[in-house]
Structure 1
Amino acid sequence: MAGRPLNATAASLLGFLHEGPKTGWDLVTTAQERIGKFWSLTTSQVYRELSAMERDGLIEAGETGPRARKPYALTDDGRRAFADWLERDPGPENIRHPLLLTVAFAEHLPAHRLVEILAHYRAEHERQLSEYEQLLASHVLPDYPAATVEFGIAYERAVLSWLRGMDERLGGAVNAADRNAPTTDPDVR
């Protein structure tokens, strides 16, 4: 492989291309469906990686089809690069959780707004947990994809447990904060 080391986004695209040729759009859709819950990639990243991988000889483009879409296929170099990447140590994870960033600065937020935000996240995580549990119960997943869904279930349960702890931590903070909050109404002094 010429040039740069293979990154995780490029490697995931090569992994999907093991199933056969796919267009950039097919790869975006496949990534969103299969790994979108735990690995984010944007459409622009996919097309940028496809260009770089084609330039590096890891994939080759087929004939342009409808809507100027080109199917890409793995080359032998692409298969080797993917195998090399897959055998590497994945490295440390990096938690990027928008809610945790908000909570880190929550002292600057009215308590009732924090409660609203937490309630929204709770509903989203309950929905996602239910979706994962239904997917796992369907018994249509091979072993390794099922293992990623099991991780999703454990993660959702952990987040919901943490959210319950936040509810306890806040306790009566909403009412106390609302009683002490400055008012902008000139008639209330």
Structure 2
Amino acid sequence: MSRPVPDEVILGLIKAKPTHGYELLECFRSRQQLGRIWTLSTSQLYAVLKRLEQAKAIRGRKISSSNAPPRIEYEVTPSGETQLFSWLYADDPSPSIHRIRVLFLSRIYIANLLGVSHRKIIDAQIIACESQKAKLESRLPNEISDIERLTINYVLSQLDAAVRWLKESDFYLRIIG
């Protein structure tokens, strides 16, 4: 499984407000924003911006200031917006606990920032976790190794906890309540 990348998160931040790299970096450093979810260095951020610009998902324009050096302000292109919303409302999110912590929480953050519904995001994540749980439960009676049984039971417990958290969290109750 590849490592999660922040491309669409950055698209979401730029969609919410055209901005420059330093402001984006502050979002990833602030614990009130994405700082508890992502660890992103300055060079990683600028590599993603370059990749998104080369893919024509964003475009930058130089903004001059009388009291600061010129900065590049980025805005999302129509193809970047399509990429963003495809990611935001993906029908098949990963049931991996790590990906839930990083990508699901990022989706919720960006949906809130953009003022769009996050019910479909939550429901898709619940379905993904429940589907993975059913697959593992069907394998359990067939497993012969004690370590495999132990491992599958561990993952099942994580998935149970994730589904319970998804259903009981405030963001879910506010949506369905």
Q: TM-score, normalised by structure 1?
A: 0.44
Which of the pair has more CA radius of gyration? 1
Q: TM-score, normalised by structure 2?
A: 0.47
- Of the two structures, which has the highest relative contact order with CA contacts closer than 8 Å and spacing of 6 or more? 2
